[in-house]
């Protein structure tokens, strides 16, 4: 039995869910509209203000898809009602971030600047204050897309364990190493 799959999803005010004959779920809300193709072995029902995912058989594949699609639908409902935000911090001397429309311009200590195009579905904001690290803020209704974009940005300069330099998530605790010991 899937412990996650059997949980009903509460539908907040202002969110509408439509499931068509081809098992395509469309979720609309104040933050946008998302679509997800549902596995044919699952049935999605809208009952009053709750969304319930049920499986038609007890096969291993159906059981594994049950919790997955319930989580995907829950992420869609949260995304169109509240949205997702990821904040990333650039730690390092001379590291800069600047947003020019949907293009993020990063200066990360390489011999060249990095120009990264952000998808239109993801909102981009950069903030640089004196005596603090630059912060890049991403906002979107699509949890998968915003996570993918954040992972790509982080891959340009992942945080290193000795000084902690690199791109890290705000509030992330890095595992630090001691480095070389001085010879006595």
Residues 74 and 89 in one domain: no
Average pLDDT, whole number, for the chain?
A: 92
Average pLDDT over residues 80-98: 95
Identify the pLDDT of residue 48: 86
Residue 179 pLDDT > 90, yes or no? no
- Return the higher-pLDDT residue of 40 and 183: 40
Q: Is residue 4 part of a domain?
A: no
> 49 near 11, Cβ under 8 Å?
yes
Q: Is residue 184 part of a domain?
A: no
- Domain span at residue 126 reads 84-169
Closest to 135 in 3D by CA, of 177, 172, 82, 174: 172
Q: What is the CATH number of the domain that holds 51?
A: 3.90.930.12
Identify the pLDDT of residue 118: 96
Residue 154 pLDDT > 90, yes or no? yes
Residues 74 and 58 in one domain: yes
Residues 74 and 108 in one domain: no
Q: Is residue 116 part of a domain?
A: yes
Residue 182 pLDDT > 70, yes or no? no
Residue 103 pLDDT > 90, yes or no? yes
Identify the pLDDT of residue 183: 58
Identify the pLDDT of residue 181: 76
pLDDT digits 0-9 by tens, 50-74: 999 999 888 999 988 999 999 999 9
Banded pLDDT at 21 (limits 50, 70, 90): confident
Residues 104 and 55 in one domain: no
* C-alpha span between 71 and 25 (Å, rounded): 13
Residues 145 and 164 in one domain: yes
* C-alpha span between 103 and 11 (Å, rounded): 35
Burial class (CB in 10 A: 0-12, 13-18, 19+), 112: exposed
Banded pLDDT at 3 (limits 50, 70, 90): confident
Sheet holding 42-47, edge to edge: 9-10, 50-55, 42-47
Taking the alpha carbons of 153, 159, 160, 161 in that order, is the dihedral positive or negative? negative
């Amino acid at each position: 039995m899937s412990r996650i799959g059997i949980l009903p999803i509460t539908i907040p005010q202002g969110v509408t869910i439509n499931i068509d004959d081809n098992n395509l779920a469309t979720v609309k809300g104040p933050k946008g509209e998302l679509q997800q193709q549902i596995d044919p072995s699952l049935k999605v029902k809208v009952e009053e203000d709750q969304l319930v995912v049920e499986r038609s058989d007890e096969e291993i594949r159906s059981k594994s898809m049950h919790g997955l699609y319930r989580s995907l639908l829950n992420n869609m409902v949260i995304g169109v009602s509240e949205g997702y935000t990821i904040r990333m911090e650039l730690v390092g001397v001379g590291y800069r971030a600047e947003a020019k429309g949907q293009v993020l311009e990063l200066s990360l200590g390489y011999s060249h600047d990095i120009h990264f195009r952000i998808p239109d579905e993801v909102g981009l904001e950069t903030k640089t204050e004196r005596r603090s690290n630059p912060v890049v803020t991403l906002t979107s209704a699509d949890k998968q897309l915003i996570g993918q974009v954040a992972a790509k940005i982080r891959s340009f300069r992942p945080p290193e364990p000795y000084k902690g330099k690199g791109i890290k998530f705000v509030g992330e605790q890095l595992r630090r190493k001691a480095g070389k010991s001085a010879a006595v």
